Structure 1
């Protein structure tokens, strides 16, 4: 994913509060269907939990991510001696086109899970990402991905916006700070086709997702989620105010996102596709 300069976004916090991300992947890995001869590029690979599993079923896999902390932690968990066909590289995938030795037309598949909504956020680099992925693939190669889709975590987005506005931040500032891009299936299909792909399948799926448990001190749950993933929003207020913004947003969400047993549910919507590079 794109570089997130955030002390809350560490491997430890990610594992504790977003460990579900690499686990809820049965559908996208089935669509990827790695084969023993496949050479695969993984965009926004994070701490390599999913990448390492895929590596057991392909010839070679290169994991790209912009987080030094996540890649380092991943390499400690999955050392080269045990995963000799898995390599890593520190890359901000918004600028994948600059990696000329990767964009070389030799990859059978380009894969991404839960990262492109960060990578594609900036409209000025979005087209370059698609062009670079197209350039990575052999003719007939596949681009297989899953990301946040239209409507993803709407309730959290609205609660953070409301909390910030109540603290005096303008709505326009909140909109500008939004770190995500959640397109519809129609929009994504159009972008893929314009970039030289034939779309074999594309779908949106509503997938309410259980977050980490909130402890007796009120830590964890949706609060931890906002502190980790919503840093760009929280930077709109001075640091002493950020805790108050998170608590206010949490309280706004309690009636719609917290179950009777105390568990928090986030309204995830997943967009996934399989697209083939035109010969």
Structure 2
């Protein structure tokens, strides 16, 4: 996720567990294939990195000996605790390497729909994962990959440029290609057993505006003091993406990076 105050306590928590349940319930549902790739065993201790509201953590707990859930968002960890996840902690993935959890105690580290939010230093995140794992332990995950949600991202960039704001300064996402992430894993002590980009046209449980309000908060942060302009940006992004609508249903083209890697060295 150190002797200094953790980054997770220093930054504003923009996550809303209520918005997540309303507008993003498809995320844990679509995490089933990566959970199957993990193939958790009854005697294993597993770390759920970026556990969110704990919906997939519950499924993990049914299949292995113990699970520790971590997430940078206090709101999400509170939501996880409310559904019964007792071993849940607010830890930013960038700080994981210095945390007491990074003591080689886990058989596997699992991550779904979280690593692409850890943009500041992806290599440092993987270093932390390595330190958490036993020798031969596995790192299994799925995150946004190259060209993920490209249409929404482009529309948000355009809306900010129109208002004289550099979108690169507020863009929170790291969407690597298979080549890029293979290099990150291999440089930090892993053998890549499987890695693939998976395009997936995704039916939303909301419209583009609801999705943007839930996931686009970093782009919208420049308008925190002007709620009316913030809403205009959200509406503009949706208006520019009306082609994503079909008979009242809204779709976004997700591209997922799914991988399995084995720790071969510290």
* Alignment partner, residue 98 of structure 1: 98
* Alignment partner, residue 23 of structure 2: 17
3-state SS, counterpart of residue 37 of structure 1: coil
Change (3 A) 1:164 1:206: same
CA shift for structure 1 position 6: 5.4
Equivalent residue for 2:249, pick from 243, 252, 263 = 263
3-state SS, counterpart of residue 21 of structure 1: helix
* Alignment partner, residue 186 of structure 2: 193
Higher mean Cα deviation, 202-211 or 227-236? 227-236
How much is the aligned-residue C-alpha RMSD, in angstroms? 1.7
Query: 1: CA distance between counterparts of 2:258 and 2:158?
Result: 30
Query: 2: CA distance between counterparts of 1:58 and 1:41?
Result: 11
Counterparts of residues 73-92 of structure 1 (less than 5 Å): 73-78=79-84, 80=86, 87-92=87-92
Contact 1:46 1:65 in 2 (8 A): yes
Change (3 A) 1:201 1:113: same
Unpaired runs of 5+ residues, structure 2, are 2-6
Query: 1: CA distance between counterparts of 2:136 and 2:127?
Result: 15
Contact 1:107 1:136 in 2 (8 A): yes
Change (3 A) 1:144 1:93: same
CA shift for structure 1 position 143: 0.4
Unpaired runs of 5+ residues, structure 1, are 81-86, 214-220
Change (3 A) 1:79 1:32: closer
- 1:225 maps to 2:211: yes
3-state SS, counterpart of residue 236 of structure 1: helix
CA shift for structure 1 position 129: 1.3
CA shift for structure 1 position 79: 5.6
Counterparts of residues 87-236 of structure 1 (less than 5 Å): 87-99=87-99, 101-119=100-118, 121-122=119-120, 125-166=121-162, 168-170=163-165, 173-213=166-206, 221-236=207-222
CA shift for structure 1 position 5: 3.2
* Alignment partner, residue 233 of structure 2: 245
Query: 1: CA distance between counterparts of 2:50 and 2:221?
Result: 23
TM-score normalized by the length of structure 1: 0.87
CA shift for structure 1 position 26: 2.1
Contact 2:13 2:74 in 1 (8 A): no
* Alignment partner, residue 45 of structure 2: 39
